[in-house]
């Protein structure tokens, strides 16, 4: 004859086994429908390149020679746009872009740095020497406004942009971007990409 306590113990064991089996499914529904995980691991905003095809900018080098941005296709492009006066925020972006390229080590040759100069202000020759290797192109501010997207309450000159080796605008970094976080994004892109 079965003891009454063993009958209850058997039911509790059965319920415990059912709970353990059902828990993963219940938790997955909870996390998918109620506590939606962000899932984002990048710092910069990923842009849909179909929305921002690279336009013809009618750009030219500081010496006056015509040169389009697509001349640098085949490499990853760190891009900034600012006045030729290059105030402190501009210089900070220039410095960050140089360091971000250098810190990639043997991968640094896969990256070009481009400064789109948006006015006719003369560029200081000391600045040109200090940031040797920075590609400097004069462009129309209006052409950039219709191409480069910005965050709310910011302007184009607040951001650093990333263009892939095929010429697709694909990432925008926030105003006053943290170089360490940008470095991680660039490292991931270079590691994941076989091109450029």
- Render pLDDT for 13-24 as a digit per residue (tens, 0 to 9): 888 887 777 777
Residue percentage of the chain with pLDDT more than 90: 76
Beta bridge partners of 176: none
| Mean pLDDT computed over 144-151 | 94
What is the predicted pLDDT for the residue at 18? 78
Residue 74's pLDDT band (boundaries 50, 70, 90)? very high
Do 174 and 107 form a contact (C-beta atoms < 8 A)? no
9 vs 83: which has the higher pLDDT = 83
Do 147 and 55 form a contact (C-beta atoms < 8 A)? yes
Taking all residues of the chain, what is their mean pLDDT, rounded to a whole number? 89
| Mean pLDDT computed over 134-152 | 95
pTM for the model stands at 0.79
Q: Give me the helix-helix angle, 179-192 and 88-102, nearest 10°.
A: 40
CA–CA separation, 156 and 71 (whole Å)? 22
What is the predicted pLDDT for the residue at 172? 97
What is the predicted pLDDT for the residue at 44? 95
Residue 182's pLDDT band (boundaries 50, 70, 90)? very high
Integer CA distances (angstroms), 105 to 7, 58, 108, in order: 69, 33, 6
| Mean pLDDT computed over 58-70 | 94
Residue with tokens 């113990």: 9
What is the predicted pLDDT for the residue at 21? 79
Residue 85 has pLDDT above 90, yes or no: yes
The number of beta carbons lying within 10 Å of the beta carbon of residue 9 is 11
39 contact partners, CB below 8 Å, separation of at least 6: none
Residue 152 has pLDDT above 80, yes or no: yes
What is the predicted pLDDT for the residue at 20? 77
What is the predicted pLDDT for the residue at 8? 73
| Length of the chain (residues) | 196
């Amino acid at each position: 004859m079965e003891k009454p306590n063993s009958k209850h113990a058997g039911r509790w064991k059965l319920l415990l086994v059912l709970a353990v089996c059902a828990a993963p499914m219940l938790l997955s529904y909870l996390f998918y429908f109620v506590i939606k995980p962000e899932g984002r691991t990048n710092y910069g905003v990923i842009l849909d390149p179909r929305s921002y095809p690279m336009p013809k900018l009618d750009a030219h080098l500081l010496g006056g020679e015509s040169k389009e941005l697509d001349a640098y296709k085949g490499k990853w492009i760190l891009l900034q746009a600012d006045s030729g006066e290059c105030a402190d925020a501009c210089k900070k972006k220039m410095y960050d872009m140089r360091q971000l390229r250098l810190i990639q080590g043997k991968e640094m040759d896969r990256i070009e740095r481009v400064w789109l100069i948006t006015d006719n202000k003369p560029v200081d020759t000391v600045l040109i020497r200090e940031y040797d290797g920075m590609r400097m192109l004069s462009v129309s501010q209006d052409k950039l406004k219709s191409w480069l997207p910005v965050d709310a309450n910011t302007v184009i000159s607040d951001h650093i942009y990333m263009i892939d080796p095929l010429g697709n605008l694909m990432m925008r970094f926030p105003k006053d971007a943290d170089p360490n976080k940008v470095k991680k994004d660039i490292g991931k892109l270079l590691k994941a990409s076989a091109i450029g």
